[in-house]
Homo-oligomer: A and B are copies of this chain.
Amino acid sequence: MLLDITARLDYTLNAPSDILLQLEAAPLPDQRLIDPQIWTSPLDHFRRIPAEENIGDRVWVRGEGRFTCDYKSRVEVTREALDLAKLEQNPVHELPGDTIKYLMPSRFCPSDEFQSFVAAEFGTVSGGKRIVAIRDWIAEHFSYVPGSSNAQTSASDSFIQRQGICRDYAHVMITLARAGAIPARFASVYAPDVDPPDFHAVAEIYLGGAWHLVDATLMAKADEMAMIGVGRDAADVAFMTTFGMANFQDQSVEVRRVDDA
C-alpha cells in the first residue's frame, strides 16, 4: 500500500514563539518513507528530538510573524491488518514494563472512572474480542460531529455527549481498554478516506505481545495508515503545540492511495 501525503500549516505569530511540531510520518519496520520533505518559512531555530517511544521525531521551531510549514512524503505501508478478535489478552502480571504506563489514566483518558462500566458492559469477553466489542460499541453509539468538541474535551465528556471527532473516539477507545486492563495509547496518523480530510487519530492497543492500531470511527484500516507518533493521549502528540500565541490562517491535509492517483 502506497500513500501520498501532503500537509500544510499556515499561522501568524504575534511575538517570538516556540512551537513543537509533530507531523511527519515516522520511519518504522512496517512503514517506509519515500522522499520525505519538510520546509518552513524562515525560522530562528529548528531542532529535531526523538518523540515518545522513539517513534518519529518532534521538531522545535522558533520564529515570529508568518509561519508556514509544508510536509510531503510517499509512505509504503507493509503493516498487515490482523483479525483483532483472534488476539489473546496478556495477563497483566506478564505485561512488559514499558507497557504499564499505558494502563494508567491520563489527561483526556480518566480510565480509573470507568471500571464498573467496562466490567458490566464488556466483562464477558477478553482480549481481541473485548477490543472489537468496545470499538463496535463506540461506533454504534457515537456520532462523528466536527465542531462538537474542543482541545479540552476528555473521554468523560465524550462518553456523556456521545459525539466528537477522531480524537474523541480514540480517547474513549483508549479509556475503556485501560479500564479493562488492556494497555492502550494514542496514535496520530495519516489515513485516506478521512472525511473531512485532516490529521487523523486512532487508538493503539497492546494484545498478543504487540501493538495494534484500532480506529473506532471505522474510517481507517490498520494497513492503510501512516503513523506519525504515539503518546498517552492527544496531549502528547498534537501536530502543533505553541508556547505563545499562534493565529490560525490556513491548514490542509491530503492523503491519497497512489493507486487512486
Contact = CB atoms under 8 A, between A and B. Distances in A.
B159 A97 contact: no
Interface stretch (A26-34, A50-58, A124-132, A198-206): A50-58
Contacts of A157: 113
A117 B150 CA distance: 19
Interface in A101-142: 101, 104-107, 109-110, 112-114, 116-117, 120, 141
A50 B236 contact: no
Nearest to A181: B243
Q: Chain A contact residues (Cβ within 8 angstroms of B): what range? A: 35 or more
Contact of A101 (B18, B112, B231, B243): B231
A261 interface: no
A58 B20 CA distance: 32
B97 A51 contact: yes
B97 A58 contact: yes
B113 A152 contact: yes
A217 interface: no
A243 B181 CA distance: 8
Contacts of A109: 107
Nearest to A237: B104
Q: Which of A113, A152, A157, A243 has the most CB atoms of chain B within a 10 A radius of its CB?
A: A152
Q: Which of A58, A106, A143, A231 has the most CB atoms of chain B within a 10 A radius of its CB?
A: A106
Contact of A114 (B94, B116, B143, B160): B160
Interface string A21-50: 000000000000000000000000101011
A209 interface: no
A210 interface: no
Interface in A41-94: 45, 47, 49-52, 58, 60-62, 91-94
A58 B100 contact: yes
A218 interface: no
Contact of A47 (B93, B143, B156, B160): B93
A143 B116 contact: yes
A150 to B, nearest CB: 8
Contact of A160 (B113, B236, B243): B113
Interface string A166-204: 000000000000000100000000000000000000000
13 contacts: A51-B97, A58-B100, A60-B92, A60-B95, A104-B231, A104-B236, A106-B106, A112-B152, A112-B235, A113-B152, A114-B160, A116-B162, A181-B243
